Amino acid sequence: MFLYLVKRLGLGALIIVVAVVMLYGMIHAVPGDPASIILGPKATPELRAALHARMGLDDPFPVQVARFLANVLRGDLGTDVFSDRPVAEMVFDQLPHTLALIVTAIVWAMALGIPLGCYSALHRNTAIDRITGVLSVGCIAIPSFLVALYALLVFAVGLRWLPAIGAGEPGDLASQARHLVLPAFAVGLGWVGYIARLVRASMLETLGENHVRTARAFGLPERVVITRYVLRIAILPTITVIGIGIGYLLSSAVFIEVVFARPGIGKLIIDSVTTRNYPIVMGSVLVSTVLFVVSTTLSDLVNALLDPRIRSGL
Amino acid sequence: MTTAAAERGRVAAGLRDGLARLVREPLGLAGLVIVAVIVASAVLADLVVPYDPIAINVRERIEAPSLAHPLGTDQLGRDTLSRVIMGGRVALHVALVSIGSALAVGLVLGMIAGFGPRWLDNALILGFDTVRSFPTVMFALAVVALVGPSLNTVILVIVVTSIPIYARVVRTQTLSLKGREFILAERAMGASGARILTLHVLPNVIGPLLILASMDIPGVIAFEAGLSFLGLGVKPPTPSWGSILNDGLALIRNTPG
């Protein structure tokens, strides 16, 4: 297990390093000069040269990458060209909003999806199982920004039950919670269906295992068999999928934050993309990538801990 | 009966069988009909659109659905139905071009990784895993920030992020085929690596790959719509399902009716 842990963590770190190099290399791969992209077409040669020197673009490429990597390791993601604020500070200001959205979304999706999946598996091929099946697939198929638009139209514009934009007053938890309802609904809806299908499938598989038959033969009450012996195993794939799903959740958070004009890392990136503020884009992409790599590594480790067969795979 | 005719007969029987199964499965049939209608309307878009999708008519702006405009009009008085039909063309174009290219590159890289030396395999796998470690939309935004928004940027991003998925599948399949007897026999007869890959490995890996790719098409369409929705995909006035939605979001409080 220890060897696996070291190898898996090493791989995670290596992937992050290669990702940083790739992101940094992308600036140099595209034709044109990053300084003139940032400064616009009207920049004077002196301005361009000054920015070049400030961004260290005159050094050879490997030196630049090494310096950038060293800075990232120290938590320095560079400075915003326009406001002169450190990029790391701007990104970490926005990150809590996005994390709140993602966590709320996945929690409500699990709270509804797991019982639905269990019910479907235990009442297989009944009308309710069929209906949840069709609804689940439907929910998975709808892009989250479409759900967001309709939620906005119905609950915020039509019925006026919930606020439409922003993240609520800072410090006022009730208002922040009200502002979180619709975005979290939009991000999580597809996941409800997905988790329900996943739990159903792995429940059905586990129900057929020998240890379940043994537990039943011992005369344990059905409720105990299901919760202690079936669900505990059937939940494992869901944990893996959620670990990998952080990437998708981050992606859909971008859309949702735009639709609801919510502060967050996605909104920050979109605003920076339109002004071509590359340091901020790179900083936020980097932070979200690290978040994603960490969560997939964690879910791999959890799985290896629970299932010894995986450890030999790497 | 010659073998060619027998082959044709078998294919026809297989098709008949598939169709019969489809008719018995009402959900599958409904899906087929819906997809066929959308694809047909996109392919024949020039013939079926009731109005020019980019013709501005300010006098009839943001109208509710009516007989003349079944889906109403947008903020510039353009017919929404025509724009939706034309948008299907963009969606299909992006899906087919990007999945097709990603499939071709992924196939080659995957076979190289599976068949080539160990160090090359490891290097390629590290590359694939790194590309997959970017959240897709975040990666797309980074690329758009650099090269600017356009349809080709969207296609480029989809190709780059899909290659690792296909390549990994092909690699695993190639690895498992590599040790099989018929490959060994080919080698014993002195066949070159290229011959083994194209004539013997390729036909065996392409089936599952095509299924995987066809299941990715909806995701790619949603992705293109998403980027266009953010204003980072197709440029106006070209209609795309995403940019139509974004026009709607801007006017969501002016909903007619």
| pLDDT tens string A135-190 | 888 888 888 888 888 888 888 777 777 777 776 677 777 777 788 888 888 888 88
Confidence of residue B163 (pLDDT cuts 50, 70, 90): very high
Q: Any chain A CB within 8 A of the CB of B136?
A: yes
Q: Any chain A CB within 8 A of the CB of B206?
A: no
In sequence order, what are the residues at sequence separation of 6 or more whose Cβ sits closer than 8 angstroms to the Cβ of residue B254? B62
Q: Residue B104 has what pLDDT?
A: 92
In sequence order, what are the residues at sequence separation of 6 or more whose Cβ sits closer than 8 angstroms to the Cβ of residue A234? A121, A199, A202, A203, A205, A206
Mean pLDDT, rounded, of chain B: 83
Q: CA of A219, closest CA in chain B: separation in Å? A: 41
Q: Is the dihedral of CA A95, A100, A106, A109 positive or negative?
A: negative
Of A143, A250, A272, the CB nearest to B135: A250
Q: Which of A145, A286, A288 to mutate to test the interface with B (most CBs of B within 10 A)?
A: A145
Which token pair is A161? 């039950």
Interfacial A residues in 7-26 facing B (CB < 8 Å): 11, 14-16, 18-19, 22-23, 26
Which token pair is B61? 């702006």
Q: Any chain A CB within 8 A of the CB of B77?
A: no
**Chain mean position to CA B200:** 27
> Using the 8-state DSSP alphabet, how is residue B235 labeled?
P
* CB neighbours of residue A187 within 10 Å: 27
Write down the H helix ranges in A30-86: 34-39, 45-55, 61-73
Q: What is the pLDDT of residues A67-94, one digit of tens each?
A: 878 888 887 777 776 777 888 888 888 8
Per-residue burial over A128-160, b = 16 or more CB atoms within 10 Å of its CB, e = otherwise: ebeebbeebeebbeebbbbbbbebbbebbeeee
Mean pLDDT, rounded, of chain A: 81
pTM: 0.79
pLDDT higher than threshold 60 for residue A229:
yes
ipTM of this predicted structure: 0.77
Cβ atoms of A140 and A190 within 8 Å: the answer is: yes
Q: Residue B1 has what pLDDT?
A: 45
3-class SS shares of chain B: helix, strand, coil, % to 5: 75, 0, 25
pLDDT higher than threshold 70 for residue A125:
yes
Q: Residue B3 has what pLDDT?
A: 62
**Euclidean distance between the first and final Cα of chain A, in Å?**
11
Which token pair is A195? 């988790």
Question: For the residues of A108-141, what is the DSSP string, one character each?
Answer: HHHHHHHHHHHHHHHTTTSHHHHHHHHHHHHHHH
Domain architecture of chain B: domains with CATH: 86-250 (1.10.3720.10)
Tokens 């079936």 belong to residue: A230
Residue of A nearest to B228 (CA): A255
pLDDT higher than threshold 70 for residue A297:
yes
Residue of B nearest to A292 (CA): B133
User: Mean of the pLDDT values across residues A296-308?
Assistant: 77
Q: Any chain A CB within 8 A of the CB of B237?
A: no
Backbone angles phi, psi at A66, to 5 degrees: -60, -45
Which token pair is B48? 């079926």
Confidence of residue A312 (pLDDT cuts 50, 70, 90): low
Cβ atoms of A262 and A179 within 8 Å: the answer is: yes
Question: For the residues of B36-87, what is the DSSP string, one character each?
Answer: HHHHHHHHTHHHH-SS-TT---GGGTTPPP-SSSTT-B-TT--BHHHHHHHH
Confidence of residue B159 (pLDDT cuts 50, 70, 90): very high
User: Mean of the pLDDT values across residues B191-211?
Assistant: 84
Q: What is the pLDDT of residues A193-204, one digit of tens each?
A: 889 988 888 888
**Chain mean position to CA A202:** 23
Contacts with B231 from chain A: Cβ below 8 Å: 274
pLDDT higher than threshold 90 for residue B50:
no
Q: Any chain A CB within 8 A of the CB of B28?
A: no
Contacts with A267 from chain B: Cβ below 8 Å: none
User: Mean of the pLDDT values across residues B75-96?
Assistant: 84
* CB neighbours of residue A78 within 10 Å: 18
pLDDT higher than threshold 70 for residue A311:
no
Cβ atoms of A143 and B225 within 8 Å: the answer is: yes
Contacts with B133 from chain A: Cβ below 8 Å: 15-16, 19, 247, 289, 292-293, 296
Q: What is the pLDDT of residues A22-41, one digit of tens each?
A: 888 777 666 556 666 666 66
Q: Any chain B CB within 8 A of the CB of A251?
A: yes
Cβ atoms of B160 and B185 within 8 Å: the answer is: no
